[in-house]
Structure 1
Amino acid sequence: MENITLIEEARNGLVENIHHGLICGVNDQRQSIYNVGNEEQYVYYRSASKPIQAIPVFLSNIISKYNLTDEEAALFTASQRGETYHISALKSLLHKLPVKEEELFCPASYPLNAGPKEEMIRNQESKRRLYHNCAGKHLGFVAMCRELGYPVDGYWEESHPLQQKILSILSELSEVPETKIIKGIDGCGVPVFAIPLKNMAITYLKLACPDLIMDDHMKQAVKNMTRVMNEHSNIVASEDFVCSVLLKDPNIVAKGGAQGVYCFGLKKERMGFALKVLSGSEDVWPNILASILEQIEYSNKETTASLRALKPSVVKNDSGMAVGEIKELFLLSGNVGEIE
């Protein structure tokens, strides 16, 4: 991987942290129009794949059959963080769907967000599979197995027909042959896929611009899925997290993954972007994403300002004193990665 600096974090003029990375932006001709680093570098999607993994649910009639709300449906795409509204929607899903909690392959966990986690520990509540941040995805997986007549046992295995169906969908959206997609195992135990960064950007281009999808059924499924993501953005992550901040903008389809992976698509501009922070940091996502939007002169300044508010360029200590700064050191330019 190329060591192109995206972000420097300095304290009193001395650089403390350097974050190298890769960025690719494509237009609706699938051409790379912005490129920092090697766009052909293979990168694992991690949880940025969740909208793709959720497409089988939206292709089915599960949502109407079990009278799911849009808020509940958004959980299939989510990395939920255990807030009250997440837990309420998860419990409702579990009640409505033909799924038992013990069938979920994701491990028992406490919520990701500190507040609800600490409250559960104080109340001496046990960890539950339902509280895992991937529980919504797994509920969808088990429900789809029942709907399609697939065995529930082993739904997490790469060879399972549901995982093969997801692989086929990813191949179609990303334009990468199935044989060229690298498979691994994600944190929650299901297959995770790696493809070239450029093709990750193409995937999110199509999520933002479903008219580029040839299959009409999938085109409508993607429209329905991205609508619920935008309308229930806090379900996808939670307040003051990057995914929810971006998804509040109805022009954006976005999802991040572990180890510094982030993907988003712009509907009106008909662009798709993918990036990888090589340090694996998620902390600098707001700085990178805000800089990308500023450099392409994105029209919704409120979205950019919301990202800047998540991670200001001024570093402050615990007393609120300015002690350093965060600098974005990359320039977007057509097919060339440059450093200031």
Structure 2
Amino acid sequence: MTEKKITSGPAVLVEEYRGHTVENVHMGHICGVGANGKIQYAVGDTDYLTYLRSSGKPVQALPAIKAGVEEAFGLAENEVAVMAGSHRAEPMHVQALTSLMAKTGIAEEQLICLPTYPLAVSARDALIAKGEPPRRIYHNCSGKHLGMISYCKHRGHAMESYADPDGPLQREIVDTLAMLAEMPADEVVLGTDGCGCPVFAIPLFRLATVYLKLAVPALVEDQATRSAIEKLTAIMNRQYSLVSGTNLICSTLLMDDNIVAKGGAKGVYCFGLRRERLGFALKVLDGSEEEWPLIVASILEQIGYDRQETIDRLRRLAPAVIRNDNNVAVGENRPVFQLLTPE
């Protein structure tokens, strides 16, 4: 039997079949890091330079939590949760964002993300049917922006410069990310995200390390950061619907109090397991998100995760069977990767 080896190039993660023929393949990379800081599971290239996109939002929210924004403005848990979330502007999200602005005294016009309609189709259609205009708080990153402005207001920094890469907030975010990733801050690659804020790229195994620390804050030496992580991630679990939206993978995984999870645009997904002391990061190279539940469910199955209800919820989000517009089964999605353990 040929020995399985970990490849340095991308691997096939999911195959889509129409009938018995492969119609599409989704390539990518997966990395799982253990509490000893070593790679425990790998598929493809664990050094792949990966932009965090919105998977970085929990890290971007940590300076505000450390600074005491929650206490200073009397914020409720739902208002804190949207700071770390990619909301879909459902009514529950809009309510939390509106009350967050009211408590902090931040005007919607201070957000640099431009007006848009909600990502949630039902919310979008309801607004359009009423002739309502787009708004900045409907942008899925608006909670992150409000959290950043809240930090600047509380600290006495210039609020209009909250997204400046050279400003005090963004420098603190980079330092926090670098500390959690166990890498020098000057090696964090900076870009600009879709919402206008800085976005960061680090090797995939470093990103898995970040989510290990988010799930197991006892591994974080800095006490203030450790306490902020404990507070924020507990809120993410309790307020899981505010972090994402109805019937989406982040909310589904966060229902499990053993998991800290957050995805980002262009195919990046991350999660950490508290009891198992593992952090995972994956990248679907074509930028697709549809395959996330299948991939994460397969990872959990392969490592012997013992909460079957979580895996079942993921399977319901992304059924293996592909149905056409007539609700006829015409194919299937198959996760085909095998997690390998480096020697």
TM-score range, shorter chain: over 0.9
Give the aligned partner of residue 157 of structure 2.
150
Aligned to 1:318: 325
Q: Secondary structure at the match of 1:333?
A: coil
Q: Distance in 2 between matches of 1:216 and 1:155?
A: 25
Residue by residue over 1:25-80, the C-alpha shift from the partner in whole angstroms, topping out at 9 and shown as x without a partner, is 01001110101011111100000000000001110222122211111110110100
Identify which of 60, 63, 67 aligns with 2:70.
63
State the match for 2:225 in structure 1: 218
Tell me, yes or no, if structure 1 residue 182 matches structure 2 residue 189.
yes
- The Cα of 1:333 is off from its aligned counterpart by 1.5
Matches within 5 A, 1:296-307: 296-307=303-314
Q: Distance between the aligned counterparts of 1:21 and 1:113, measured in 2?
A: 27
1:84 counterpart residue number = 91
Q: Which runs of 5+ in 2 are unaligned?
A: 1-7
Q: 1:288 aligns with which of 283, 291, 295?
A: 295
Match of 2:228, as an amino acid?
A
Question: Unaligned 5+ residue runs, structure 1?
Answer: none
Partner residue of 2:15? 8
Q: Secondary structure at the match of 1:273?
A: strand
Does residue 177 of structure 2 align to residue 170 of structure 1? Answer: yes
Give the Cα separation in 1 of the matches to 2:44 and 2:16. 20
Residue of 195, 202, 205 corresponding to 2:209: 202
> TM-score scaled to structure 2, two decimals?
0.96
* Distance (Å, rounded) in 1 between the aligned partners of 2:160 and 2:197: 13
Report if aligned partners of 1:176, 1:195 keep a CA contact under 8 Å in 2. no
- Indicate yes or no: 2:48 matched with 1:46: no
Match of 2:117 in 1: 110
Report SS of the residue matched to 2:295. Answer: helix
Write the distance in 1 (CA, Å) between the matches of 2:202 and 2:68.
30
Letter in 1 for 2:323: K
Give 3-state SS (helix, strand or coil) of 2:31's partner. strand
> 1 CA distance for matches of 2:10 and 2:210?
25
- 2:35 is matched with 28
C-alpha distance after superposition, 1:97-136 (max 9, x if no partner): 1311111111111110100001111111111111110010
Deviation at 1:3, TM superposition (A): 2.8
Mean CA deviation greater in 57-66 or 47-56 = 57-66
Could you tell me which amino acid in structure 1 is paired with residue 175 of structure 2? S
| 1:274 maps to amino acid | A
Which residue number corresponds to residue 254 of structure 1? 261
Q: Is the 8 A contact 2:191 2:199 kept in 1?
A: yes
CA deviations on 1:277-325 (whole Å, 9 max, x unpaired) are 0010000001100000000010100000000001111111122211001
Is the partner of 2:161 in helix, strand or coil? coil
What amino acid sits opposite 2:115 in the alignment? A
| 2:137 corresponding residue in structure 1 | 130
Amino acid at match of 2:322: V
Residue 269 of structure 1 corresponds to: 276
Which amino acid in 2 is paired with 1:8? E
2 CA distance for matches of 1:239 and 1:131?
16
In structure 1, what is the Cα distance between the partners aligned to 2:169 and 2:73? 20
The superposition leaves residues 190-214 of structure 1 with CA deviations (integer Å, 9 ceiling, x where unpaired) of 1000000000000000000000000
Superposition TM-score, scaled by structure 1 size: 0.97
RMSD: 1.0
1:37 aligns with 2:48: no
| Structure 1 equivalent of residue 3 of structure 2 | none
Contact persistence 1:108–1:129 (CA under 8 A): yes
Alignment-mate amino acid for residue 249 of structure 1: D
Q: Deviations over 1:233-274 (max 9, x none)?
A: 010011210000000000000000000000000000000000
CA distance in 2, matches of 1:264, 1:150: 32
Q: Give the Cα–Cα distance (whole angstroms) in 1 for the partners of residues 46 and 183 of structure 2.
A: 14
Q: CA deviation at 1:335?
A: 2.4
Q: CA deviation at 1:178?
A: 1.0
> Partners of 1:326 and 1:210 in 2: how far apart?
35
